Amino acid sequence: MLIMINVGWLEYDLQAFIINVLFDTIIGGGFTLVFLLYFLRRYREVSALKKSFEYKLTAQNDVIKARLAPHFFFNTINTLVSLIESNPSRAASLLQHVSALFRASFEGAREISFEEEIALCEHYLAIESIRLADKLIINWRLPDEDVMYDMVITALMLQSVIEKMLLNVVEMTTETIYIDIEVTWQQHRVTITISVQLPKKTLMVHYDLRQHMNFYIQAERLRAYFGQSADIQSTVTSKQIVTVIDYPLQDVSL
Q: Are strands 231-236 and 136-141 parallel, antiparallel or unpaired?
A: unpaired
Single out the residue of 155, 174, 165, 167 nearest to residue 218, CA to CA.
Answer: 155
Query: Which carries the bigger pLDDT value, residue 91 or residue 68?
Result: 91
As a whole number, mean pLDDT of residues 22-49 equals 64
Quickly state the pLDDT bin for 210 (edges 50, 70, 90). Answer: confident
User: 228-247 pLDDT, tens per residue?
Assistant: 999 999 999 989 999 999 99
pLDDT at 113 exceeding the cut of 90: yes
Name the strand (E) or helix (H) holding 21.
Answer: helix 2-68
User: 141-173 pLDDT, tens per residue?
Assistant: 999 999 999 999 999 999 999 999 998 999 889
- 36 alpha-carbon distance from chain centroid: 36
Distance CA 217, CA 26 (A): 50
Q: Specify whether the CB–CB gap between 105 and 112 falls below 8 A.
A: no
* Partners of 243 in the β-ladder: 194, 234
Backbone angles phi, psi at 112, to 5 degrees: -130, 170
pTM of the model: 0.72
Cβ neighbours of residue 91 closer than 8 Å, sequence gap 6 or more: 80, 83, 84
As a whole number, mean pLDDT of residues 65-77 equals 68
Distance CA 17, CA 14 (A): 5
Single out the residue of 138, 151, 211 nearest to residue 185, CA to CA.
Answer: 151
Single out the residue of 226, 215, 212, 231 nearest to residue 114, CA to CA.
Answer: 226
In order of 74, 128, 184, the CA distances from 187 in angstroms are: 43, 35, 10
User: 18-35 pLDDT, tens per residue?
Assistant: 666 566 666 666 656 666
Q: List, in sequence order, every beta strand (DSSP E) within the chain.
A: 111-113, 136-141, 152-154, 177-186, 189-197, 231-236, 240-248
pLDDT at 201: 85
